[in-house]
Structure 1
Amino acid sequence: MRYLFLYTLVFFLLTGLAGAQPAADLIFHKGYIYTADSAGSVHSAVAVKDGKILITGSDEVVLQYKGESTQIISLEGKLLLPGFIDSHAHSISAFKHFFELNLYGLKSVKEIQDALKEYYYRHPGAAYIKGRGWSNTMFPKTGPAHTYLDEIISHIPVVLASEDGHSRWVNKKALELAGITNLTPAPAGGIIELDPESGEPTGTLRESAAGLVSGIIPPPSFELMYDGLIKFQKMAAEFGITGVHEASIDAGSIEPEVYRKLEADGKLNMRVTAALYIEPDSGRQWIEHLTAERSRDRGELFSARYAKIFADGVVEGSTAFLHEAYNHLPANRGELLCNLDSLKNLCAGLEEAGFGIHVHAIGDAAITAALDAFAYARKISGNTDTRNLITHLQLVRASDIPRFKELNVTAAVQPFWFIKDEYYHDIQVPYLGKERADREYPLKSFFDNGVNVASSSDYPVTIPPNPLVAIQTGITRKEPGSDASMTPLWPEESATIEQMIRSYTINAAYASGWEKIAGSIEPGKSADLIILDKNLFTIPADEITYAKMVMTMFRGKIIYSNQ
């Protein structure tokens, strides 16, 4: 009788506790739920309450949290993941994608001229034309000529950014208004391309030289940026993106103001942390300017806690900083865009002020310099919990890869580019030589060395910024849709499906300082969830991009559904 009494007491206590469980607002069950927690746990059900994860587990366990008003959704075996986070995107520039002349994907001068003609036909009263998206692979090293643009538009300035954003192609009217001639000195870190025969400017301006034409065209308006971000968020939700590390905005400008207004209006449907641009030679006094901006940007969804530094340029402009000379320019290694001592002191000052540092570095020498600067900053500040990132990482010395882990530096990669495309054949092999070109974009080595790897798009360099394309390419190292004859780029550096998913979820959350609130499906974290119609863990890698986004949820609210 005594044991029967004890069993009865335990039964009533347990059922009483179960009855006291908080009722979930929503339960997903009968699914394959990859949580991206530290153990890589997989469950079949998850409950959501008040915009946060209540519990994960088996259907039997989670359904105990069903209440009278709980919505129950059967996943029918579909894959549920944490929302994707893009760790390097210029979402503030979405207006360029949606509202300016779009040249992405055009393959010839004639196609570009036709697009320019059509744009002017639709904007007959335009005082200028801006656009973006032409490819360096279509033109010689000196870039496209202004004469191609002059044939279509010669009475107003035309300024077209390359798809990587590091060069400008302008017509003769723009050169005249900016006062650019063959006698104009190029600014530090910039190149005014000259015709090798006439010695006159070709119409291509690279890196900082692009700023020479910035004053002839009005800056984008607040309303244009605002509307661009509205469109970007709609597109991002369709791809399952619920967070963005904004790669570069200007402190004291309207750019952070636009984000603040979006959040105040209740129209910011993603989590955003921004990197504030700072000139690497600007000195520590400029840090106060960034600190003032950071104090204004402390919203629940938008913050600015990072500083952005450009260490070098790009391979296609021969401006990436390399340890060994370019193959086509034996006297040129590119250059570091600042003095190394200045970079070290700036990084130390930024860390002391509590900023994470986000560095653009493409060449292997630039990456070494950035790591040297971080090592110096750690020595000065003593801070071992920094959230610094180096992005792009096209060429990396093998000896530098372990240093990322030692210095707690995130490798912010763009797997979209890990392929043998026109850039590989027309620029990378001729400019770098085949041996270096075949060892571009390491990935597996970072994972193997315990480095935090966070994937990203560099939008609008990559359009569209679909994470599924990056995930597939990170595994196959081939362009999605390519046939079996296409050889992969450095296949030994292929990652696994789990590594790629973590690079877009928990690793990306860590890189942005969100790992305690987002990036994985764990009790208490934000219910940022996505559902796909195919299980990425079980389908062939070359079919990942065929998967469709079924639903995107941010903080418990559905922001996209195809049902």
Structure 2
Amino acid sequence: MTTVLTNATVFTGSADAPLHEAVAFEAGRILAVGDAATVRAIAGEDAEVVDLDGALVSPGFVEAHTHLAMLGQTLDKVQLRDAGSLSEIQERLRAARSAQPEAAYLLGASWMFDAVPGGQPTAAMIDEVIDDIPVILDSNDVHSSWVNTAALEAMGITAETPNPPGGEIVRDADGQATGFMLETAAIEYVWSYLDEITTAADRERFLDTAFEAYLHSGVTAATDMALGEPELAAVVRLLERDGRLPFPVTAHWLLRPTGDPERDLSQVTRAVEVRDQVAALDGSEWFRLAGVKFILDGVIDACTAAMRAPYANGTNAEAIWSYQTAAPVAVAADAAGLQLAMHAIGDHASEIALDLVEECGRANGPRLRSPRIEHLESVTDDTIRRMAALGVVASLQPVHCDPAIMDNWMAMLGDERAETGFPWQKFRDAGVRIALGTDAPTAPLEAAHNLFIALTTRSALSPGSAVYHPERAFTPGQALEGLTLAGAVAGEFGDGIGRIVPGGRANLVVLDVNPFTGDPDDLLESTVLRTYVDGELVAGSAASTRE
């Protein structure tokens, strides 16, 4: 069956390309795109014709940075992002415990630093309401964990437990853990504990939940940014179960600093093995390991991002991976043809990231590369110029600078840096390719809300007039390109993903709000009418009606 979507505004993936009126597809591939009469003539008289009444048709959104299994798990947790005080957090935990009296543990997500007295959570604060089972709460940025005493005991955390490289178990004056775990301490101890208590069936359910949520948001491809052994096993089981994934995924193998150069390098060896093993699987066109992920620093909210100058409180943070420890690992990964993805929030961390890219070129010689830096919240003008010269992609998340969550971020910096963050306009002016994502579950996953913030620099969490430097705003074409084509290029997708082009995969989204002509505020209440993957209607209000 040939399908024609007409009476629409059709965006094809590039901000510079003209808008069209209609698109036709058959057998999972785009047949034609252009004016309505021409497309209908090519499609033929027997084609199904869908009149969209002026809606937006776009390539399906490409989520440029996500954590699929973690997102699916987070959607099951106690939600704390909008809890504005410690008492409100405690009340939600108390209510969740009352609703789950047989639970062996309790998980929460997205607490905000400015909701906790002094931004320093303690186990005692949770113990006041739940002290009989482990409670583990992820911070909004998922770079810190807040746990109760029962969780510390379950994880075996004592005064003698060492800080892992790049992380900290926050301790009191007596050397006892307070219940606050920063950066790799959260990864090595909290995440590892959660891996132990999570079943294979749980992980499959988490992935199913994440895929379903994304499809209803119009996402038809995604790049997972923290793949490890448990996540890999879950994806493989889904491929074995269904022969495919709900939409194509590329992934990056998470590298953890160990303090041992040989162990660090062995992680690259494992990444190469995984890449080759996945490529040999049935259904491999749905899943591919594209590269490796370095978490070079932490986050500004916790003063763990590596900055050129100290924070307002006089402290600063060392990089989680120093240049010296990361360089041989990056060179090995690059030599193996693995893409480098580097989390760098602080302005010093992004300098390290570019030093690594340059070292790969010196060590391995010139060739086509597509390195990417994730987040780039505080960044110097010189770094932006270097990124443009080196062809490094800026992977940015508009939802991370929602004005509703910016107060603590700005207070931690405390000087002119608080007013120069997230410099989207400077990346654009320098010619740096920008891919847009959400980093879910560190932020809401809805693509339309991400688009709203990109267009307005206003808050999707707390709508109002407050803005963070509106000169940074994207045009509709620029933002949609970042959410589609640029995300596909950054994620090393091919086969027409991220574009509407004849012969390409018919992965499409239909949104009831047209950002080219409508009020951006309408995006906050927008509806995904249709999501197509390979020409199949898989989600959206129209899909529900059809069912």
| TM more than 0.5 | yes
1:230 paired residue among 208, 217, 227: 208
Which residue number in structure 2 is paired with residue 452 of structure 1?
Answer: 433
Residue-pair matches, total: 531
Contact 2:86-2:117 at 8 Å conserved across structures: no
Note if 1:525 corresponds to 2:504: yes
Which residue number in structure 1 is paired with residue 443 of structure 2?
Answer: 462
1:305 paired residue among 273, 280, 290: 290
Distance change >3 Å, CA 458–CA 59, structure 1 → 2: same
Note if 1:324 corresponds to 2:306: no
- 1:297 aligned counterpart, secondary structure: helix
- 2:181 aligned counterpart, secondary structure: strand
Which residue number in structure 2 is paired with residue 357 of structure 1?
Answer: 340
Structure 1 residue 192, shift from structure 2 partner: 2.3
What is the rounded CA distance, in whole Å, between the counterparts of 2:136 and 2:506 in structure 1?
Answer: 43
Query: Partner letter of residue 406 of structure 2?
Result: Y
Distance change >3 Å, CA 522–CA 177, structure 1 → 2: closer
Structure 1 residue 58, shift from structure 2 partner: 1.7
Trace 1:60-459 onto structure 2 (pairs within 5 A): 60-67=37-44, 69-141=46-118, 143-182=120-159, 184-195=161-172, 200-210=176-186, 211-213=188-190, 218-250=196-228, 253-264=229-240, 265-266=242-243, 268-280=245-257, 282-298=263-279, 299-328=284-313, 330=314, 332-421=315-404, 423-425=405-407, 427-459=408-440
Residue by residue over 1:197-241, the C-alpha shift from the partner in whole angstroms, topping out at 9 and shown as x without a partner, is: x66432211112223345655342221111122122221111110
Structure 1 residue 267, shift from structure 2 partner: 5.8
- 2:82 aligned counterpart, secondary structure: coil
Note if 1:475 corresponds to 2:452: no
Query: Partner letter of residue 147 of structure 1?
Result: A
What is the rounded CA distance, in whole Å, between the counterparts of 1:413 and 1:168 in structure 2?
Answer: 23
Structure 1 residue 455, shift from structure 2 partner: 0.5
What is the rounded CA distance, in whole Å, between the counterparts of 1:445 and 1:277 in structure 2?
Answer: 29
Distance change >3 Å, CA 152–CA 538, structure 1 → 2: same
Distance change >3 Å, CA 412–CA 73, structure 1 → 2: same
Distance change >3 Å, CA 559–CA 433, structure 1 → 2: same
- 1:275 aligned counterpart, secondary structure: strand
Contact 2:14-2:477 at 8 Å conserved across structures: no
Which residue number in structure 2 is paired with residue 498 of structure 1?
Answer: 477
- 1:404 aligned counterpart, secondary structure: helix
Which has more radius of gyration? 1
- 2:496 aligned counterpart, secondary structure: coil
Contact 2:510-2:531 at 8 Å conserved across structures: yes
Which residue number in structure 1 is paired with residue 487 of structure 2?
Answer: 508
What is the rounded CA distance, in whole Å, between the counterparts of 1:461 and 1:484 in structure 2?
Answer: 22
Query: Partner letter of residue 206 of structure 1?
Result: L
Residue by residue over 1:415-457, the C-alpha shift from the partner in whole angstroms, topping out at 9 and shown as x without a partner, is: 0122333x432x2233211411111111111111111101011
Query: Partner letter of residue 260 of structure 1?
Result: V
- 2:225 aligned counterpart, secondary structure: strand
Structure 1 residue 296, shift from structure 2 partner: 2.0
Which residue number in structure 2 is paired with residue 559 of structure 1?
Answer: 538
TM-score using structure 2 length: 0.92
- 2:250 aligned counterpart, secondary structure: strand
Query: Partner letter of residue 289 of structure 1?
Result: R
Structure 1 residue 147, shift from structure 2 partner: 1.5
What is the rounded CA distance, in whole Å, between the counterparts of 1:156 and 1:86 in structure 2?
Answer: 36
Contact 1:260-1:302 at 8 Å conserved across structures: no
Contact 1:142-1:194 at 8 Å conserved across structures: no
What is the rounded CA distance, in whole Å, between the counterparts of 1:173 and 1:79 in structure 2?
Answer: 51
Structure 1 residue 338, shift from structure 2 partner: 2.3
Distance change >3 Å, CA 376–CA 140, structure 1 → 2: farther
Task: Say which is worse superposed, 348-357 or 89-98, in terms of deviation.
Answer: 89-98
- 1:457 aligned counterpart, secondary structure: coil
Distance change >3 Å, CA 461–CA 371, structure 1 → 2: same
What is the rounded CA distance, in whole Å, between the counterparts of 1:539 and 1:471 in structure 2?
Answer: 13
- 1:300 aligned counterpart, secondary structure: helix
Residue by residue over 1:311-344, the C-alpha shift from the partner in whole angstroms, topping out at 9 and shown as x without a partner, is: 011112211000011111x2x3211112312322
What is the rounded CA distance, in whole Å, between the counterparts of 2:32 and 2:529 in structure 1?
Answer: 22
Task: Say which is worse superposed, 477-486 or 348-357, in terms of deviation.
Answer: 477-486
Structure 1 residue 310, shift from structure 2 partner: 0.6
What is the rounded CA distance, in whole Å, between the counterparts of 2:472 and 2:162 in structure 1?
Answer: 42
Which residue number in structure 1 is paired with residue 545 of structure 2?
Answer: none
Structure 1 residue 261, shift from structure 2 partner: 2.7
Query: Partner letter of residue 474 of structure 1?
Result: A
Contact 1:322-1:333 at 8 Å conserved across structures: yes
What is the rounded CA distance, in whole Å, between the counterparts of 1:481 and 1:428 in structure 2?
Answer: 16
What is the rounded CA distance, in whole Å, between the counterparts of 1:246 and 1:509 in structure 2?
Answer: 13
What is the rounded CA distance, in whole Å, between the counterparts of 2:148 and 2:71 in structure 1?
Answer: 24
Query: Partner letter of residue 471 of structure 1?
Result: L
What is the rounded CA distance, in whole Å, between the counterparts of 2:151 and 2:50 in structure 1?
Answer: 58
Contact 1:94-1:225 at 8 Å conserved across structures: no
Distance change >3 Å, CA 555–CA 535, structure 1 → 2: same
Residue by residue over 1:361-405, the C-alpha shift from the partner in whole angstroms, topping out at 9 and shown as x without a partner, is: 110000010011001112222244212211111100011112222
1:537 paired residue among 504, 507, 516: 516
Task: Say which is worse superposed, 400-409 or 84-93, in terms of deviation.
Answer: 400-409
TM-score using structure 1 length: 0.89
What is the rounded CA distance, in whole Å, between the counterparts of 2:175 and 2:109 in structure 1?
Answer: 26
Which residue number in structure 1 is paired with residue 4 of structure 2?
Answer: 27
What is the rounded CA distance, in whole Å, between the counterparts of 1:485 and 1:69 in structure 2?
Answer: 49
Structure 1 residue 414, shift from structure 2 partner: 0.6
Contact 1:440-1:490 at 8 Å conserved across structures: no
Contact 1:384-1:407 at 8 Å conserved across structures: no
What is the rounded CA distance, in whole Å, between the counterparts of 2:170 and 2:32 in structure 1?
Answer: 60
What is the rounded CA distance, in whole Å, between the counterparts of 1:214 and 1:515 in structure 2?
Answer: 33
Higher relative contact order (CA 8 A, sep 6+): 2
Contact 1:189-1:337 at 8 Å conserved across structures: yes
Query: Partner letter of residue 207 of structure 2?
Result: L
Contact 2:167-2:320 at 8 Å conserved across structures: no
Which residue number in structure 2 is paired with residue 47 of structure 1?
Answer: 24
Structure 1 residue 483, shift from structure 2 partner: 6.6
